[in-house]
Amino acid sequence: MKIPKFQDIILFENDDYIILNKPSGFPVLEDRNLPPSHNLLSLIRQERPDAQVAHRLDKETSGALVVAKHAEAYRNSSIQFEKRQVEKEYHAVVEGLQEYENRKIDIPLRTTNKGIAVKDYQGGKRSETIVSSLAAYRRHTLVKCHPITGRMHQIRVHLALIGAPIAGDEMYGGQWVYLSELKRRFNLKQGEEERPLMQRVALHAYAIKMKGLAGDEISAQAPYPKDFAVLLKQLEKNK
C-alpha cells in the first residue's frame, strides 16, 4: 500500500504525545509479509527517533493511535492502559438491526495458536465491551464500542458472539456488503465483477482520551476514512 505522509495523519501533538489517524492496511509494527519500512512505527521513527507506540490496532483497523515521544511519556501511558484508565471509542458497521444501549458484553476470551480469539469460560481472560447503537439502516447498524479490556480481536469476536458480526469480518462470520444488495435498481456492466463497498473489516478507532504527564486531558477524534464513509453513505441512501 501507499505509505502515508506523517504530517497528514497527525490528529494531536504536544511535547509528550502524538495521536495519529492510522490508515487501514498499514500495520503498526513490522510485518514479515511487507518491506521493513511498511509499518507505522518505522514511519514515526523517521520523524521522532525515540518514539514508541503506546498500544496497537489491528492491521485492517483504521483510527486513533497514541504515540509516546519519550520514555517518561511511554511509562505514563502504559500505566493508564494497564489500569484501564484510557477511554477508547470504536465505531463498527454490524449485520442486522441491533438495538443496544450500553449493553455490556462480558465474555472471557482466549487466543488460539492460529491467532483467532475464542470464548473460553475456563481458561480465557476477562474481556468486557460496552456497545450502543448509533444508526440503523435496512439490514445493518452502526454501533459504538467502548472496550474496557484490550484483548486481541476483542470487539470483533464479542460482536460476533452476540449475533452482530462486523461487516467484512470473514474471520468471525461477517459478510461483505455489496451495492447490488442495497440498491433496488442496480445494473452491473457485462463482464464486470462487483466488488464489496468496503474491502476490509468495517471497524474504526473513532476516539481516544487519556491523561498527559501533568494530569491534563489528551484526546482526539479520528475522521472516518474514505471507505468507511462511503459505506455509511450508501447504507443511509438505500435504507
Instruction: Calculate the alpha carbon distances from 203 to 156, 169, 198, 238 in Å.
Output: 8, 9, 11, 21
Higher pLDDT, 41 or 162: 162
Q: What is the pLDDT of residues 71-129, one digit of tens each?
A: 999 999 999 999 999 999 999 999 999 999 999 999 999 999 999 999 999 999 999 99
- Confidence label for 188 from pLDDT (cuts 50, 70 and 90): confident
Instruction: Calculate the alpha carbon distances from 11 to 36, 220, 223, 230 in Å.
Output: 25, 6, 9, 21
Q: Which three cell numbers stand for residue 69?
A: 515521544
The whole-angstrom separation of Cα 173 and Cα 85 is 31
The whole-angstrom separation of Cα 132 and Cα 130 is 7
Collect contacts of 221-225 with beta carbons under 8 A, ≥24 apart: 221/11, 221/64, 222/11, 222/21, 222/22, 222/62, 222/63, 222/64, 223/21, 224/91, 225/21, 225/23, 225/24, 225/62
Residue 13 β-bridge partners: 18
| CA-wise closest residue to 202 among 172, 181, 180 | 172
Give me the pLDDT at residue 1, please. Answer: 65
CATH architecture of 6-237: 2-Layer Sandwich (3.30)
Active site residues: 58
pTM for this structure? 0.94
pLDDT at 187 > cutoff 80: no
Q: What is the pLDDT of residues 1-40, one digit of tens each?
A: 678 888 999 999 999 999 999 999 888 987 777 777 788 8
What mean pLDDT value characterizes the chain? 94
First to last CA, the chain: 32
Kindly give, in sequence order, each residue whose CB lies less than 8 Å from that of residue 149, ignoring residues fewer than 6 positions away: 84, 125, 126, 127, 128, 129
- Range name among 32-46, 61-75, 151-165, 214-228 with the lowest pLDDT average: 32-46
